[in-house]
Structure 1
Amino acid sequence: MNRQQRYFRIPFIRPGDQYKDNPGGQKKGWWYAHFDGPWIARQMELHPDKHPIVLVAGKDDMEMCELSLEETGLSRKRGAEVLPRQFEEIWDRCGGTRYLRGAIESRQARPTYATAMLQSLYK
């Protein structure tokens, strides 16, 4: 549990919107990531006009970022890193805590800092 915990948020434009004639009308979404050491533990996608997508390591590996933190370049991207409480606030608001708890109970979540912290709350 001594791995460094880092949290990131970066904006994105939906692929279908990036080439539209009205650049001001493009809808921006947000991609959030929690890295437990070099690997992603939790991920969120906040799309305009859609329900948030929350993903956890173990259960959703095939849909999550497969790159290490170093390979993503996020730690070198100015303004991308956010405070843990900023990530956790959005995570909880989007149903991430409930989703992670379900993944833990069904033994689908990979052991990470996030799973350990959530489990300690319920013991």
Structure 2
Amino acid sequence: MVKHARKTVISLGAVALLTLAAAAAPAQATSATDIPKDRCKRGNYCIYDPPRYPLWQYSGNNDVTHTFDGGSSWIRNNGYRQAGADHIRFTYNYFGESKKTGCLHPPGDGTTIKKFTKKKSVNIFKVRWVGAC
């Protein structure tokens, strides 16, 4: 009886340890659809540079230039629907190229993610909450 109880306790302990280890493992994104949404707080926009999720996260307008590696990075709008201020317009460029603008919709209203696909450094110069793209 004692031997059986000891095996049961050891087995339960091993299961609990494996469960905790699996829960603590960070999710690795491989595409825009795999971005771990729970780490970008609702109401914010986030800039991802794997394996750090998110690298930057903001709820307001931003004029600070952020530079990161392209090829597997994203900017994502996880804002709330709000008339006049639920889309994000951002200015960016790849290293050595001219500036471009992008605009992302809030969740449930179109494209919410921009993936930077070139294997060059990317600069995001500013991000603004706007009414529409």
Q: Give the TM-score taking structure 1 as reference length.
A: 0.22
Bigger Rg, which one: 2
> Which one has a larger percent strand, Structure 1 or Structure 2?
2
